[in-house]
């Protein structure tokens, strides 16, 4: 494949990028319901449709649960679909999220991460994503505006691949990226068409066609149900190498690589590693560089794929390291560690004896700052030397 032409560079917000990402992939049915900090996506796509720039059915639903159900119905009928949400909107879809993945419907959704507690918090945090992690969706976390755009395009290649057929949720930090204007290269739509063209060469997936006796969503019990679940889990396993493969194809064509399931930054010779995700990884990279100048061998692993959890790639990246710090932007109930840290600890045996330190930071729009990360590096450095350390630290509570 030759490479894509240079796209137009524009300075736009993460939400606008979300809408452009959708536009470029030509969804045929879009349904969305406004919620802070995502509303601009719903508005912008409506504008595209009303301007005739996007030839899609746009359904202004009466709630998020319906948004997910509308795109599910359309997807089952054969459409390419798109929706966007955040926070309570995402959890209001909870039953429909499970139906969508159960139907193996290749829905692509953008989720602007926001707190989702029992008490209101209109602020950033990954709690919404964490609360829906076992709904059978692929969940990907991105770092900046360009990555939002690129990941939406890659997500269609993933979701609609006949060997996958799963819904994909693209997560980005609400507020931080929603309203942050950055320079973004917007590819030409013909190039996006070309990148997505391999999907059209596949055998068409099964659709619900009027007049044809096909049933969808039967009351599976006993073996019918077990088989569907088994195949769903198998497909999830296939997602992992596929994400790497698509990332490579995307990079080869558009010139931007993201590392696939995880991105590794200065990890090769690192003794200590910070595992982080989302917009805060930029800050971590800065601190890695400055600490390296002081002689501390620190590296960053950016978690891009949250579901399925990239076990194999993480083991490879973390094996033999001397200390690992995990930064979580959400909380877990039942374990004292943050949710991503808890997941990582399931790999303790494979990773080795490195202490794993859990950090809770950046809840409710509190910034994950350079001093916060410097502190994490210093503590990891101490732990790596075999000295005592604190297992779990809520950074803002100790400031």
Partner 1 sequence: MVDATKKRNRVFDYFIEEEQFAGGVAWCAGCPLELTARFVPKVLGKKMIFVGTPGCAAPVLHGQNIGAWHHLAYMASVMTGVPSKATGLSRYYHKTGQEATVVCFTGDGCATDVGFQPLSGAAERNERIIYIAYDNEGYMNTGNQRSSATPLGAATTTTPVGKIKRGKPTPAKNMPMVMLMHKPRYMATATLSHLEDFAKKLTKAKEAAKEGFVYLHVFAPCPVGWRIDSNRVIEVCRTAVRTNYFPLWEAENGKPRFTLEVASPKPVGEFTKLMRKFSHLDENGMKDLQRTVDERFALIKGLCEVYKE
For binding to partner 1 (CB under 8 A), which residues are involved? 28-29, 31, 57, 59-63, 65-79, 81, 95-96, 99, 208-225
Q: How far is CA 206 from each of CA 79, 214, 242, 258, rounded to the nearest angstrom? A: 11, 9, 21, 32
Q: Which residue lies nearer to partner 1 by CB, 66 or 290?
A: 66
Q: How far is CA 196 from each of CA 22, 105, 133, rounded to the nearest angstrom? A: 13, 17, 27
CB 204 within 8 A of CB 163: no
Beta-sheet strand order (sheet of 323-328): 262-265, 298-303, 272-276, 323-328, 356-360, 392-394
- Nearest approach in angstroms of CB 215 to partner 1 is 5
Q: Which residue lies nearer to partner 1 by CB, 63 or 241?
A: 63
Instruction: Count the residues in the chain.
Output: 399
Burial class (CB in 10 A: 0-12, 13-18, 19+), 211: exposed
- Nearest approach in angstroms of CB 221 to partner 1 is 5
Q: Which residue lies nearer to partner 1 by CB, 81 or 300?
A: 81
Q: How far is CA 131 from each of CA 113, 115, 173, 303, rounded to the nearest angstrom? A: 11, 10, 15, 17
Q: Which residue lies nearer to partner 1 by CB, 27 or 339?
A: 27
- Nearest approach in angstroms of CB 160 to partner 1 is 15
Phi (first) and psi of residue 155, to 5 degrees: -65, -35
Angle, CA of 30, 32 and 35, to the nearest 5°? 155
- Nearest approach in angstroms of CB 82 to partner 1 is 12
Q: Which residue lies nearer to partner 1 by CB, 205 or 345?
A: 205
Q: Which residue lies nearer to partner 1 by CB, 223 or 397?
A: 223
CB atoms within 10 A of CB 17: 32
- Nearest approach in angstroms of CB 237 to partner 1 is 25
- Nearest approach in angstroms of CB 72 to partner 1 is 6
d(CA 335, CA 358): 11
Q: Which residue lies nearer to partner 1 by CB, 29 or 357?
A: 29
- Nearest approach in angstroms of CB 22 to partner 1 is 16
- Nearest approach in angstroms of CB 57 to partner 1 is 4
Q: Which residue lies nearer to partner 1 by CB, 2 or 221?
A: 221
Of 25, 312, 49, 301, residue with least CA distance to 150: 25
């Amino acid at each position: 494949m030759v490479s894509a032409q240079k796209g137009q560079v524009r300075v736009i917000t993460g939400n606008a990028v979300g809408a452009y990402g959708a536009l470029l992939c030509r969804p045929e049915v879009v349904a969305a319901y406004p919620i802070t900090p995502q509303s601009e996506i719903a508005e912008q796509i409506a504008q595209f449709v009303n301007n005739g720039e996007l030839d899609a059915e746009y359904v202004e639903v009466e709630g998020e649960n319906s948004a997910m159900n509308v795109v599910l119905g359309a997807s089952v009928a054969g459409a390419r679909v798109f929706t966007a949400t955040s926070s309570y909107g995402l959890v209001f879809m909870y039953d429909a999220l499970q139906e969508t993945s159960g139907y193996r419907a290749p829905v692509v959704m953008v989720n602007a991460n926001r707190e989702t507690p029992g008490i209101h918090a209109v602020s950033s945090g990954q709690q919404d994503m964490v609360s829906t992690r076992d709904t059978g969706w692929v969940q990907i976390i991105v770092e900046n505006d360009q990555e939002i755009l690129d990941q939406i395009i890659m997500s269609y290649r993933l979701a609609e691949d006949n060997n996958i057929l799963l819904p994909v949720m693209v997560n980005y930090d609400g507020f931080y990226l929603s309203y942050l204007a950055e320079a973004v290269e917007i590819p030409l739509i013909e190039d996006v068409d070309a990148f997505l063209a391999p999907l059209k060469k596949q055998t068409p997936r099964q659709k619900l066609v009027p007049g044809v006796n096909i049933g969808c969503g039967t009351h599976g019990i006993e073996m019918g149900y077990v088989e569907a679940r088994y195949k769903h889990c198998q497909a999830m396993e296939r997602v992992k190498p596929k994400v790497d493969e698509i990332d490579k194809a995307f990079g080869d064509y558009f010139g931007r690589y993201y590392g696939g399931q995880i991105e590794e930054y200065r990890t090769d010779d690192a003794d200590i590693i910070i595992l982080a995700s989302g917009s805060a990884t930029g800050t971590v990279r800065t601190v890695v560089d400055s600490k390296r100048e002081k002689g501390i061998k620190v590296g960053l692993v950016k978690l891009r794929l949250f579901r399925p959890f990239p076990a194999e790639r993480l083991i490879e990246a973390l094996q033999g390291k001397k200390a690992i710090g995990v930064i979580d932007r959400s909380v877990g109930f039942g374990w004292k560690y943050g949710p991503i840290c808890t997941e990582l600890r399931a790999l303790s045996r494979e990773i080795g004896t490195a202490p794993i330190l859990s950090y809770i930071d950046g809840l409710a729009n509190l910034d994950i700052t350079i001093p916060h990360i410097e502190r994490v590096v210093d503590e990891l450095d101490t732990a790596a030397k075999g000295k005592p350390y604190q297992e779990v630290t809520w950074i803002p509570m100790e400031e």
